[in-house]
Amino acid sequence: MSEMKKKILLADDDPDQIFQVSHHLKKWGYDVVAVESREEAERYLQSECPDLAILDLMMEEEDSGFILAYRIKQCKPQVPVIIATAVTAERGISFDISTPENKAWIKADHYLEKGFRMEELEIIIKGLLK
């Protein structure tokens, strides 16, 4: 009997980012649920919970990714969440999740600046899913 594929929720309002990341995730053997808004992700989360989530920060609102991360952690606290964003490049806003203060309100396990290398993403995912 084969092992169940891990399911990854990918929420991003950039179709190019969804295409590129989905392509690699599938190539690495994951099932991908790709949505283009926080609203779509929330509908999905009403009946399902992924094994891992990769969330854009700014979708409908500037904090959509933070809200989704919080909701995922309510549903299943053990589900790893990666926030991938271009917020620093686009808005000049910088944050990290290395301090206890930020970890208290940013419910993400990892943070990536968009433009990340796919090899880096693969290593992070493997580490989080162990």
**HSE-up of residue 73 (Cα within 13 Å, Cβ side):** 17
DSSP codes joined into one string, 33-86? EEESSHHHHHHHHHH---SEEEEES-SSSTTHHHHHHHHHHHH-TTS-EEEEE-
Q: Which amino acid is located at 20 in the chain?
A: Q
pLDDT in tens, the chain (130 residues): 446 899 999 999 999 999 999 999 999 999 999 999 999 999 999 898 899 999 998 888 878 888 899 888 887 889 999 998 876 555 556 566 666 665 555 678 888 888 899 999 999 999 999 8
Which residue in the block uniquely carries the two structure tokens 């790893």?
Answer: 80
What superfamily in CATH does domain 7-128 come from? Response regulator (3.40.50.2300)
- The angle formed by the CA atoms of residues 106, 36 and 21, to the nearest 5 degrees, is 80
Domain ranges, ordered by start, for the chain: 7-128
Predicted model pTM: 0.85
